[in-house]
Amino acid sequence: MMVKDIEENYNIENLLGSRARVKILKLLAKNKEMSISQIIRDAKLNHTSVKYHLACLKSYNLVQEKIFGRIKIYRYKF
């Protein structure tokens, strides 16, 4: 196994190693687009946690964010 493969596997484990991130991805896959308030309500997570996990998912390019004034809408990219 090459070093790059090991690094990629490690990153995938970090990404999916969180139940909260998996829960958020499932919600977005099911609902297409959701506001952060909807994600908080449906995932039963607190605001800080949801913001953190959405930032992680955005950094892995799995979630897209649209901003309408003060409202942020998130969608699963695939």
Is residue 74 a contact partner of residue 64, using CB atoms and an 8 Å limit? yes
Whole-model pTM: value is: 0.78
Is residue 60 a contact partner of residue 12, using CB atoms and an 8 Å limit? no
pLDDT tens, residue order, the chain (78 aa): 443 444 455 466 566 678 899 899 999 999 989 999 999 999 999 999 999 999 999 998 999 999 999 999 999 988
Mapping DSSP to helix (H, G, I), strand (E, B) and coil, where does residue 60 land? coil
Q: CA-CA distances (angstroms) from residue 35 to 12, 42, 47, 51, 75?
A: 25, 11, 12, 11, 9
Please report the domains of the chain, with CATH numbers, ordered by start residue. 3-76 (1.10.10.10)
For position 18, what pLDDT does the model report? 83
For position 13, what pLDDT does the model report? 59
